[in-house]
Amino acid sequence: MNKKIYTVIVGTGSYVPTRIITNEFFLDAEFFDPATNQKFETPNSEIIRKFFEITNIEERRYAEDDQVTSDLATLAARDAIETSGIDPETFEFILVAHNFGDMISGLVQPDLCPSLANRVKTKLGINNHSVLTNDVTSGCPGWTTAMIIADAYLKSGIFKRGLVIGADVLSRVADPYDRDKMIFSDGAGAAIVEAVESDVPVGILSHSCRSDHDHNMLNVGFSVNPKIPKEHQYLKMLGSKVYAYALSTVPGVVKDSLDKAGLHLDNVGKVLIHQANEKMDEAILSRVFKLYGKREYDKNIMPMTIQRYGNSSTATVPTLLDLVLKDKMEDHQISKGDIIILTSVGAGMTINSIVYKMPE
């Protein structure tokens, strides 16, 4: 039997900021109605209560004032390096998925030059000058997009090993006057990937992607507070439209990725989905099960971190993967030989689904 090249994850890491922001933090916030650009008459306590009912987010994590996105990315990378014992000088590429670069606390100004991948390489102290450093900006699915790119790199035979990171500091780009600010958080997750020759399928077995031209669901725009200068722009989201889009499209992309791998939902041990909104993720999973003729779904197949960590965009899936692999998620384990799904949906709109088999 001829051996093929597969992309295998040989180490994971994550960094969850230590600064805990509970829902009560927003009791004194000034929230404006995006439809009228007027302050809500509804008390913040009621806005927060409804927010929790919809998202199940109780708290989120914010970076310290002296930290930027590349700092979080570096910390996650160091965790992966320490876990794996791999020499970072052997990396042949570094991909960093993010959305706004290194935003300094107090400034609404993205910092994208030089690339975050280049900055992470420097902060890791890597001296190898031949390392390819590249950033990936693809909304919340940035890390899964970067993993698909890494898979292409490794299967081409050009590279043997690389580092793929997802990191974001969304607390500094969300409109402070918008209720949706409560969804967003900060964090970073990393994976070290290698090319492995095998006569049996292992690692990334398949992937499926979808992109649609609706730039209004998630974009950058003006504050809902009309007094904020127009030169200041923030991350904006039409939550109800994102919810409807995700429910109608993500299940089909997940099924397509399984079809490409010649697998059934019954073969899947875990579904690691972007942590955007717990009720939305549960609804997506329910529809995936229905595509296979199943009326009920097993919640245990889908570990969730959103209740404590919020939505850290590109960081959610790699962070979740790292926590489960390191037995830091109660009642959730991934074992040798397990089939897992890595899937995300976000700005663009963009969807990715990766079918991955753990090495034996």
163-202: per-residue pLDDT in tens? 999 999 999 988 889 998 999 999 999 999 999 999 999 9
pLDDT band at 231; cut points 50, 70, 90: confident
Q: Which of 68-72, 225-229, 279-283, 300-304 has the highest mean pLDDT?
A: 68-72
Q: Where are the beta strands (DSSP E) in the chain?
A: 4-15, 19-22, 32-33, 38-39, 59-62, 93-97, 132-136, 161-169, 186-198, 203-211, 218-222, 233-237, 268-273, 339-346, 350-357
Picking from 202, 168, 147, 162, the residue whose alpha carbon sits closest to that of residue 321 is: 147
The partner residues of 32 in beta bridges, in order of sequence, read: 39
Residue written as token pair 């918008």: 178
Q: How far apart are the first and last CA of the chain?
A: 18
What pLDDT does residue 215 have?
A: 64
pLDDT at 235 over 90: no
pLDDT at 272 over 90: yes
**What tens digit of pLDDT does each residue of 122-165 get?**
999 999 999 999 999 988 899 999 999 999 999 999 999 999 99
pLDDT at 239 over 80: no
Report the mean per-residue pLDDT for the chain: 92
8 A C-beta contact, residue 100 and residue 140: no
Mean pLDDT of 326-336: 91
Mean pLDDT of 289-298: 87
What pLDDT does residue 225 have?
A: 84
Mean pLDDT of 213-218: 72
8 A C-beta contact, residue 135 and residue 117: yes
Q: 120-134, 232-246, 265-279: lowest mean pLDDT where? A: 232-246
The partner residues of 166 in beta bridges, in order of sequence, read: 97, 189
Which residues of the chain does CATH 3.40.47.10 include? 4-198, 203-357
What pLDDT does residue 1 have?
A: 61
Choose which CATH entry (1.10.540.10, 3.40.1350.10, 3.40.50.720, 3.40.47.10) describes domain 4-198: 3.40.47.10
- Model confidence, pTM: 0.92
What pLDDT does residue 229 have?
A: 85
Helices 69-84 and 116-123 meet at what angle, rounded to 10? Answer: 50
Q: What is the Cα–Cα distance from 117 to 132, expressed in whole angstroms?
A: 9
For domain 203-357, give the fold. Answer: Peroxisomal Thiolase; Chain A, domain 1 (3.40.47)
- Residue 54 CB coordination number (10 Å): 16
What pLDDT does residue 326 have?
A: 96
pLDDT band at 262; cut points 50, 70, 90: very high
Query: Under 8 Å CB-to-CB from 50, ≥6 apart: which residues?
Result: none
Task: Please report, rounded to a whole number, the percentage of residues in the chain having pLDDT higher than 90.
Answer: 72
pLDDT band at 299; cut points 50, 70, 90: confident
314 vs 241, higher pLDDT: 314
pLDDT at 2 over 90: no
Query: Under 8 Å CB-to-CB from 129, ≥6 apart: which residues?
Result: none
